[in-house]
Amino acid sequence: MKRLCASLWPLLGIQALLRGLWRSNCGRASVTLHCRSSSSSFRGHLGPRCAARSLGAQAPEVLNTSPEEFVPGIRLDRVEQLLAIRMPGHLAHALKRLPEMEQLTYPGKRNRGLRVVLNERNEGIISSLLLLKPGVDRDALPQHVQEQIEAAGGDLVPHTLRLSYENLGYREALRQLLPEGVDVPSRYETVGHIAHFNLQEQQWPHRHIIGRVCLDKNPLLRTAVAKVGEVYGRFRTFEMEVISGSNETYVALKEHGLRLEFDYSSVYWNSRLSTERRRILSQVSPEDEVVDLFAGVGALALLCARQGCRVRANDLNPEAAVAIRRNAALNGLELEVSCADATEVLQGVLQGRRAPMASRRHLVMNLPEGALELLGSLWPLAIASDAAYGELAMHVYCFARSVDDVLPRLESCLGAVPDGTVVHLVRDVATSKYMFCVEFTIRSP
């Protein structure tokens, strides 16, 4: 026995240590990450993965406090009185599977960890209970269900249901925790293990509880961040604040079968453009050449390379260029990567010839803040390229209040709207602000 206890002590010590580390992973103090890239700092020497981890190690972490402790006087425990169908043996499980019972059964999916069928044993006799929604009585049950219950020797019995925070979903928990008049954030972006919130002004004072509840209700997420300000600067990055969880910003994820890794605090990435990347890919043939002027971490460029295209991926951010090369290696793909000013790259592409055997060239300009204006400044080169070298397919992104504002802006930049121009709505960004993709093709006479 002494030997057994002696062998268990190290394991118990490790358990206590892990428990302590886990509890220290969430501090009430906030952490602001300045997400600007710098190739001259020591982070450049460590590399993106080490840089992200060193950043997390230096900043305080958010304390693992019970959500109820954030809001004094609030208790999420509650008791509901309802009816349950008691059936012999395990017949309540079969009753639950009936399609007509779905709208009558207590909503277990919305209440995490709650079983709507309970097993009972009384003096050796096994029975099962199917919990019904509050307000559902015998008369609400279909006639044939009542007959099945009676034929099996079942009955309806009163049941007291006790619920706690652990049983509540994300929205229901926050509806009870947030003050009246503060909306529950309707959505957030998931980037690997990170939940990224773009909070409204009214939600900002409650960001820590919002982040904590999000992580509690999504076990695969370990970090919650909130955007501070807007995307800005040459590298299209933004400042973020860790509002709950770990400070680790190096993420690994999959999109359309691609493995991608990058430091989310140092590069541009938007998971909500996944469908848009797939849409662009559907317009590309294996014989085409693709030039992505603002490639970010290379998701679209790598998808095109996997399809057999000759691809050039460019991004002014040095850490984005590093991420593209790393992701190309992760997926066993080859493409040309550059870290240069988009104006120089665009000018070189428009003046250069297409790749050998390329049926057409695609130019992707995902810089909604100024892509149309950039294209307009070099439009004479595009016309010359058309006359000399063949087909040029343009995919140019912009922000606008409505689709009616896009074509006049295009005409202002280019002098005219090219024939066959199509404006595609990509997504809504904010109230009265939308992202569009302007597409047209220039063909040789």
Question: How does pLDDT run across 24-54, given as a tens digit for each residue?
Answer: 333 333 333 333 332 222 222 223 333 333 3
Does residue 233 register a pLDDT over 90? no
DSSP states of 360-383:
-EEEEE--TTTHHHHHHHTHHHHH
d(CA 289, CA 336): 11
How many other C-beta atoms lie within 10 A of the C-beta of residue 394?
A: 20
Parallel, antiparallel, or unpaired: how do β-strands 237-245 and 223-232 relate? antiparallel
Residue-wise pLDDT for 193-218, tens only, equals 999 999 999 999 999 999 999 999 99
Among 201, 270, 205, 267, smallest CA distance to 238 is for 267
Of the pLDDT bands very low, low, confident and very high (cuts 50, 70, 90), residue 190 is very high
Closest Cα to residue 63, out of 26, 33, 100, 89?
26
Pairwise CA distance, residues 407 & 416, whole Å: 9
168 pLDDT band (50/70/90 cuts)? confident
Question: Is 325 in a helix, a strand, or coil?
Answer: helix
pLDDT at 222 exceeding the cut of 50: yes
Alpha-carbon dihedral of residues 263, 269, 271, 272, nearest 10 degrees? Answer: 160
Q: 7: pLDDT confidence band, cut at 50, 70 and 90?
A: very low
Using the structure block, give the residue that is written with the tokens 């959500």.
67
Q: Distance (Å, rounded) from C-alpha 188 to C-alpha 200?
A: 12
> Which distant-in-sequence residues (6+ apart) come within 8 Å of 39 by Cβ?
318, 319
Strand 189-191: give its sheet, edge to edge.
31-33, 237-245, 223-232, 194-197, 189-191
- CA–CA separation, 147 vs 153, rounded Å? 10
What's residue 255's pLDDT?
96
Q: How far is CA 168 from CA 103, 109, 164, 176, 201, in A?
A: 19, 10, 7, 10, 25
Rounded (to 5) percent helix, strand, coil in the chain = 35, 25, 35
Q: Where do we find the tokens 């008369």? A: 139
Looking at per-residue pLDDT, the higher value among 443 and 390 belongs to 443
Quote the pLDDT of residue 74: 61
Is 65 a residue whose pLDDT tops 60? no
pTM above 0.75? Answer: no
User: CA 239, CA 257: separation in Å to the nearest integer?
Assistant: 29
- Among 109-123, 176-190, 321-335, 402-416, name the most confident range: 321-335
> For the residues 295-318, what does the mean pLDDT come to?
96
Of the listed ranges 31-35, 235-239, 316-320, 348-352, the one predicted with least confidence: 31-35
Task: Tell me the pairing of strands 433-442 and 422-430.
Answer: antiparallel
Report pLDDT for 397. Answer: 96
Mean pLDDT score, 105-113: 73
pLDDT at 23 over 50: no
Give the model's pLDDT for residue 315: 95
Q: What is the pLDDT of residue 114?
A: 80
pLDDT value for 76: 76
* Range name among 50-54, 300-304, 364-368, 374-378 with the lowest pLDDT average: 50-54
